Structure 1
Amino acid sequence: MSRNLILNAFLMTTGHHEASWRLPESTVNTGTDIAHYQRLAQLAESAKFDAVFFADSPVLQAPPAQRPAGALDPILLLTALATVTENIGLIATASTSYNDPYNLAREFATLDTISNGRAGWNVVTTAGDAAAKNFSQHNQLDSSQRYARADEFLNAAVKLWDSWEDDAAIGDKQRGIWADPQKIHRINHQGKYFQIDGPLNLPRSPQGRPVIIQAGASPAGKNFAAQWAEAIFAVQQSLGQAQGFYADVKNRVAAAGRNPEAVKVLPGVVPIIGSTVQEAAALADELDELILPEHALTNLAAQLHIDPTELKLDAKLPVGLEHVVEAEKSTSRRDVILKLGYGRDLTVRQILRELGPGRGHQTVVGTPEQIADHIEESFTQRAADGFNIMAPVLPSGLEVFIEQVVPILQQRGLFRTEYSSSTLRGHYGLDRPASIFAEGENLKLSA
């Protein structure tokens, strides 16, 4: 498969920098303003981006005093964006721990149908008891159970998406047959977590199935991605780390019997852009000076699973935090913090500044040419197949990236100047899967 650079616009309220909402230009309630997101989606589409992406969680994600914390349901939000765009992909996060396969399969099939084939699903398993308590459960499932449930969830969802063969709806007016019952299948899924008769109450969508994306960095998460993912969202701090992660997941994909080139690795990057290096640095400093340490420190301590009193702003991280792990809490973001503290020998204050723009995703501060150089090097040196562009401030950060960086990438022959497809699968260079129930196809999945 030929490699084409992928660019997604990862959208978040006033921007990814935690202090972006404090800038004079920012409107603090944009997180719940549909017109704001419609404009951003149209802006990204004008630059021929592959997709827009919305993260999500079934809990209040950010401390509400720290940054805008309201979040619209991403599947509903993307449905609204589908009506004002034509080609750009639409990716939503949804949890396998706090949904059922039938409802979620139907929602993504609906989004894919409404958008004419542009839906993508970022599959998460959701760690933490806080989410469980929002769904009438005292505690979360342990990690092995969450991934076992997720595996069965995807298994059942694929059966549901495929339960209508592509040519099931024949619309034969003369014979009075709208759909061929022989091509609509009960899935009869009987598993540990789900028992589902099927079929889905919706014909097969334009892509057949939404593009499946995964973002786990743990061994269990990477193994799950190797089995299911068609794209992997990643958090990497350096070229070497990114190359190591890239090679690791591609090897896991191959070991799972799949084509590694058909699984796209897409780290996040926060571009802070100025016409000169000094101008870019000044913008970064302006944003960082607006971070309130008392908010950020509390959040940092929670990610490290320690009390905030153990952290001193102008001191290094306490020794031994790699051993402080609360059972079943997420460690991927903690590991990023430890690499900053122990690997780069940063103080707590410096770590907070590193995390402020993008919560651990790599921040690149520089001119448009330097941002383009970073993207090109990562792509050509097999550290990434593309990027989630995380503008530090919205809309201005995305506007500057589109106006000043995208043309350089196009001039270098790295990024498209026009869409050659109208589906997300087409943008990513992925095949449209045949229904597992279609003639000549074996039922490849089991409960």
Structure 2
Amino acid sequence: MGKSRVGRAVVAGVRGLQLSIVSLAGGIIYFVLSVLSICFILLGIGIFTTPVVLTGLRKHANLRRVQAGEWSGVHIPIPYRPFPPNMKTGVRGQAQRCSLMLKDPATWRDLQWLLADMTAGYVIALLAALLAPLYPVYGWVLALGVWKPIHEAGGGEWYGFIHVQSQTDANYAALLGTVLLVVGLFTAPALVRAHFLLARGMIAPTAAMRERELALRVDHLTETRHDAVDTSAAELRRIERDLHDGAQARLVAMGMDLGTIEALIEKNPAKAKEMIARARQNSGEALTELRDLVRGIHPPVLAERGLGDAVKAVALRLPVDIEVDVELPGRAEAPVEAAAYFAVSEVLTNVVKHAAADRVWVDVHHAEGMLRIAVTDNGKGGARVGTGSGLSGIERRLGTFDGVLAVSSPVGGPTMVTMEIPCELS
């Protein structure tokens, strides 16, 4: 038996002891509070207490999920349904939150898990603690004479199922401790893993929940795809209109001027020279409009230098003090970069137009497979998705890539707009 096996058994025993305490105490506390709070909904009090208690229960379950992955390599997915982005506030918001949490099947599975965790889960974790080297060693300690002062003091010491009242009983306790030590070295880590496997069977998403989540995801992607098609069509119409009314009109006028110049160049050189200067001005303006149009389709700096520098270039053009912090070890795919770039541009434009802010902070980084962008300003606040601020369009743009938008903007500020897009960097 190597030191590594003994070490793993000791660690498993300590973890088993911790899990047994948390399973019993946490299970009783959260189960009782949850049941009472749900019953109090009839009195009106539960509308306010139930979301708080169930949020605590979810944190309790999520901690067990984290421990399962870190301690035993058991992955337990999180099954909770996300809240809608436009949650109500005040009493109506509390009622909506309470209703959504109670309608979530994962909530009731958590309550069932509490019952299993404080019974079977507690026993399994306690066995892991008892079979760890610490408790078997106590059997040897009793055999070394510690049993005698305990017995003389009137204490009836029990070791497992052995009532230690003599040296012979203490020797049996040492023998039992040896057996427990051998068994624990091989089974204590497995028992801790069994505890987490029991939890996974109770609080992991069921097949029906996964199917429903997949159906919702398909519906969401279908909706965002339609939005993307509509947006693309509108963008094409805008490009066509800009070309027709802008650069094309200037080029037609320049062609007509060149025809007139050809006729006047010998008869009226001065007039021809004046028209040449105007044609040169029209060509420059047409070129500027074409560059602006191309920048609106896909900015060259984005294609050449990536999202970070493109966002910094946008910040430099705006009349607000903007601090940009970029931490990207690589580049995302071009469509993702474009979506993120135009989303940030739209948010910054909204800040300039509506927020009355003089400082803006932009943070762009990538972590855990997500491109995360946060835009914070010290303006007047009050921004909401769906209030004509352009945030709804940003949400649809991000939704095409299964991204999400979150807005925190209390009246008086500050405002934080957070965007997340799942992607990998090259």
Query: TM range, normalised to the smaller chain?
Result: under 0.3
Q: Which of the two has greater helix per residue?
A: 2
Which structure would you say has the larger Rg?
2
Give TM-score scaled by structure 2 length: 0.19
Q: Which has the higher contact order (CA 8 A, sep 6+)?
A: 1
